[in-house]
Structure 1
Amino acid sequence: MDAIDLFAGAGGFSTGARMAGANVVWAANHWPAAVEVHANNHPDTLHICQDLQQADWTQVPAHDLLMASPACQGHSRARGKERPHHDAQRSTAWAVVSAAEHHRPAFFLVENVPEFAKWELYPAWCAAMTALGYAMTPMVLDAADHGVAQHRRRLFIVGTRSRHPIALKLPRLSHVGAGTLIDFEGGKWSPIERPGRSAATLARIAEGRRVCGPRFLTAYYGNERGGRSLERPVGTITTRDRWAVIDGDRMRMLNVQECRRAMGFPDDYQLPHRAKDAMHMLGNAVVPPVARDVINALKVAA
């Protein structure tokens, strides 16, 4: 099976496709740093750095599977106040339609946040894909059910050129605790009780100690309060540091290596040297083992 990867980013879709035995022949992204990372890890893939709404699809190799993860920021509940640029971000999904219209691959696979299905133009987007001859199977999947030590719920839309939507049989694996990710001998630790530590942070840590004991995770932002047991998967990895490790009287943020593991990338997967860029790419990535399981199930069902 030959595949292409639109909005390839760090390469989660491509890595998952390779795990499933697919050959990723072409990948594209508008961010040069992401294209460089993808090329370093997938050297046999043809790469292009471009706004995909301006792409010339005649220059894209033939393929069986179109994979795409359009911008999610305009849909996500974490986006905050609605802003004008969110319309532009949401419109990236139309590149999937134009690519499918030209190539008509046998299958497509789109990943996004679950709120994508609440987009005002989602019915029109689905109608366009239906008009191209695709039957669609939308599924909200949690990465934790696929052997990854992270709770990450994402919408996957499987499209097939068939009369009826396809039924996929996906594995549901036992959850893996966040403790498997963490190197307690490494990282840059700091004392919890230090000048300048906010009262809110100290209160959150105190609550975590009460519930979880001396070792746990705590979120720096979001709806989660207190602590999260290391026997549970970590919460969603985001584009900026979110999760702190508490170990007795010291603490630190999860590092890039630990977040790479939480996303299901191999330990030797190359990421930017600048931690901020690496975290941004990981937070936006598709979880490879989830993509692997969906593609494997698609191959069986088709």
Structure 2
Amino acid sequence: MSALGYALSPIILDAADLGVPQHRKRLFIVGTRSKHPVELALPVFAHVPALSFVDFGAGKWAPVNRPGRSPRTLTRVAAGRRQYGSRFLAPYYGSGSGETGRCLSRPIGTITTRDRWSVIDGDCMRMLTADENRAAMAFPAEYRLPENHRLAVHMLGNAVPPPMTREVINALRKAA
């Protein structure tokens, strides 16, 4: 890009700083035909809690202590209960947010291309719904998703939250 005459500005942004209820870091490389790389003045918004999109009346709940549940999942749930009480989020696969999950008063971690986040409510748990994943990505409620849950989550996990794109474009317009 430099050889083609572009000045490059790499910028790492966290979606939570732009009003998205999700900690999601993304690298934006801004290329301009200016002599020097541009510096973007981006706003910083208050963090939006995960509680803003979790619907405790939705989804398919199952007992936490059902036969066949992974011992690692049970360990994460027990640690989350000690840390946050009876309602919280926990990564279902992998280590994610450590071994205790996340409280609902802070943004969720990154929404990935496959179901990753479970909601714990007392002795029951479930995965986030496609609608909750959409809201965690800050897509509007009317944004249409595929009927297939797995495909919807996959598409959302590959997306950039719209507020991130909007704020980068607005900052570019101001810098131009």
Q: TM-score range by the shorter chain?
A: over 0.9
Q: Secondary structure at the match of 2:144?
A: coil
Q: Offset of 1:259 from its aligned partner? A: 0.6
For 1:218, the equivalent position in structure 2 comes to 90
- In structure 2, runs of 5+ residues without a counterpart are none
Q: Does 1:230 align with 2:122?
A: no
> What's the % identity of the aligned pairs?
61
Q: Offset of 1:192 from its aligned partner? A: 1.1
Within 5 Å, give how 1:20-31 maps onto structure 2. Answer: none
**More helix by percentage:** 1
Q: Does 1:138 align with 2:22?
A: no
For 2:165, the equivalent position in structure 1 comes to 291
- The structure 1 segments of at least 4 consecutive aligned residues displaced by more than 6 Å after TM superposition are none
Q: Does 1:266 align with 2:133?
A: no
Q: Secondary structure at the match of 1:282?
A: helix
Q: Is the 1:209–1:227 Cα contact (8 Å) retained in structure 2?
A: no
Q: Is the 2:58–2:129 Cα contact (8 Å) retained in structure 1?
A: no
For 1:178, the equivalent position in structure 2 comes to 50
Q: Does 1:282 align with 2:156?
A: yes
- State which structure, 1 or 2, has the greater radius of gyration over its C-alpha atoms: 1
Q: Offset of 1:235 from its aligned partner? A: 0.4
Amino acid at match of 2:137: M
What is the distance in 1 between the residues matched to 2:99 and 2:162?
29
Q: RMSD in angstroms over aligned alpha carbons?
A: 0.9
Tell me which of the two structures has the higher relative contact order, counting C-alpha pairs closer than 8 angstroms and 6 or more residues apart. 2
Amino acid at match of 1:131: A
32, 50, 60: which one pairs with 1:188? 60
Aligned length: 174
Q: Does 1:156 align with 2:63?
A: no
Amino acid at match of 1:266: P
Within 5 Å, give how 1:50-65 maps onto structure 2. Answer: none
TM normalised by structure 1 equals 0.57
For 1:206, the equivalent position in structure 2 comes to 78
Q: Is the 1:245–1:254 Cα contact (8 Å) retained in structure 2?
A: yes
For 2:123, the equivalent position in structure 1 comes to 249
Q: Secondary structure at the match of 2:8?
A: strand
Q: Offset of 1:193 from its aligned partner? A: 1.8
Question: 1:161-216 CA distances to partner (integer Å, 9 max, x unpaired)?
Answer: 11111111000011111111111111111111211112221111010000000100
What is the distance in 1 between the residues matched to 2:157 and 2:101?
21
What is the distance in 1 between the residues matched to 2:69 and 2:38?
53
TM normalised by structure 2 equals 0.96
Amino acid at match of 1:178: A
